[in-house]
Amino acid sequence: MRHLDGESREQGSLLPDTLDDYVAEDHPVRVIDAFIDNLDLVDLGFSKAATKATGRKPYNPADLLKLYVYGYLNQVRSSRRLEKECHRNLEVIWLMKRLSPDFKTIADFRRENATAIKGACKAFIQFCRQADLLTGRLVAIDGSKFKAAASKDRALTRKQLRERRKRVERLVDMYLGQLAKADGEDINVEMESDRVQRALKQLKAEGVQLDDIESEMDERESNQHCSTEPEAKLMRSGREGTVLGYNVQTAVDADSGLIVHHEVTDRSADTQDLQPMAEGAKETLAADNLAVVADAGYSNGEQQAACESQGIEVAVPSRRAVNNQSSEFFQKSEFRYDEERNSFTCPAGEELRYTTYSSKDKMHLYSRTGCNGCALQAKCTKADRRWVSRHFHEEAFALSEARLAENPGLMGIRMAAVERPFAVLKQIMGLRRFLCRGMEGAKAEMGLGILSYNLARIVNEVGVPRLLAAMR
């Protein structure tokens, strides 16, 4: 049979003269190497970046960062697997210059440098901005839930805590009844008593554990607790239902698709994240003005007004309660607001004056009496007084709604920009679940994932030669 045959294992061969010959000139691994070599690791705050004059020499944090970025690009996130790659992967051997740190050294680097890694992400975006590789014309903001390292089964809510406490109390009552019954019988009294006493001891220990968990909930002012990862939270996550994890927020440049800013939070909802994400993106891009688009989950009048005051133009669909739900009555839109008089004029021409406010709903309330004598009462209200509300930050909502009305395709642009990075991080790079426990570990992993994603994205867009030329 005619098949292609490999070379004999005993055949001598002339290997490349240098290690550099193993990696092509246009290989993406060269971009990783060049970019990280240009970073000021001391200024970014990487541990062991500044060395002492005595003692054993540490590994250069630049080499360990290169190793992790390469690993995340190739779905190799485990420190033990990265250790193996240092011995058998020619690209890693080239990148590490034949260094082979052990898995603990690799893992400790990730654990100790969460803040510095995020700084490296920012440095890459600033490099891209200076090299005219992104525009900063429009930034889209969105969040997604990523699973924590701990199992959801180890999480406990206050409702579940009460149910478990009732179960313990019920079992204690049952065993005490059995103990009393055994004391009244002559047969196997000692054996039955020992068994019940052991069960009671276990239940007592469980009760103490539940008390400790409740105390931790009170201390953290939380309604849930995970014994193996206290910082993780139970969150709703679309098709996945409820997950134990973290909410990862990203701000994506709509033109280049690069993630210009990110945060890892333990908040399930996005309502408090618009302003910090917009401000973070504006700072990273060093922009005087910035246009931001997000979905209705970010609707927050106070934060939208704060963004507008800083030169950040916000386009977010408003999520507000309507003045009344019945279509048979006049809607608030049919009442004209007079800014100078701070009052509304109803369809009948009557004035609704400022009456009070609701700090809970952040609403100013306007009303008038005497509606019973109005010819339009049947279309307005069943009561003698009609109320109309106006949000504390109505102007910010109106600006946002006007921008969306002027550009109806803006929400489609938002979706195209923000969904792709999350899909790549989760599906292609395999970052669906964090390996490190705790908020700092999650931040370190997400920073590595986003730096890797941005590098891969820009390599695909402009190519290795152009990037290497810009980094020299």
Q: Give the residue extent of every domain in the chain.
A: 19-112, 139-149+232-319+398-436, 153-226, 332-394
Dihedral sign from CA coordinates of 422, 427, 429, 430 = positive
Residue 163, both tokens = 């149910």
Tell me what pLDDT residue 119 has. 96
Tell me what pLDDT residue 159 has. 83
Quickly tell me which residue has 């004999």 as its tokens: 8
Return the bridge partners of 414, or none: none
Tell me what pLDDT residue 109 has. 96
Closest C-alpha among 300, 220, 307 to residue 266: 220
Tell me what pLDDT residue 201 has. 77
Tell me what pLDDT residue 160 has. 80
Query: Which residue type, as a one-letter code, is found at position 263?
Result: E
pLDDT tens profile 116-171: 999 999 999 999 999 988 888 999 999 999 999 998 888 888 888 788 888 877 77
Give the predicted TM-score (pTM) of the model. 0.85
Backbone angles phi, psi at 354, to 5 degrees: -60, 130
Q: Where are the beta strands (DSSP E) in 12-159?
A: 139-147, 155-157
Backbone angles phi, psi at 234, to 5 degrees: -75, 130
Q: How far is CA 43 from CA 74, 247, 356, in A?
A: 28, 28, 53
Euclidean distance between the first and the last CA atom of the chain, given in angstroms as a whole number: 53
Grouping H, G, I as helix, E, B as strand and the rest as coil, residue 2 is coil
Tell me what pLDDT residue 205 has. 77
Backbone angles phi, psi at 224, to 5 degrees: -150, 165
Residues in the chain where the model's pLDDT stays below 50: 187, 191, 323
The whole-angstrom separation of Cα 34 and Cα 27 is: 12
Q: Which helix (H) or strand (E) holds 447?
A: helix 438-462
Residue 375, both tokens = 């010819």
Tell me what pLDDT residue 189 has. 52
Contacts of 412 (CB under 8 A, 6+ apart): none
Return the bridge partners of 73, or none: none
Q: Say if residue 326 is exposed, middle or buried (CB neighbours under 10 Å; 0-12, 13-18, 19+).
A: exposed
Q: Under CATH, which architecture does the 139-149+232-319+398-436 domain have? A: 2-Layer Sandwich (3.30)
Backbone angles phi, psi at 338, to 5 degrees: -110, 110
Tell me what pLDDT residue 448 has. 97
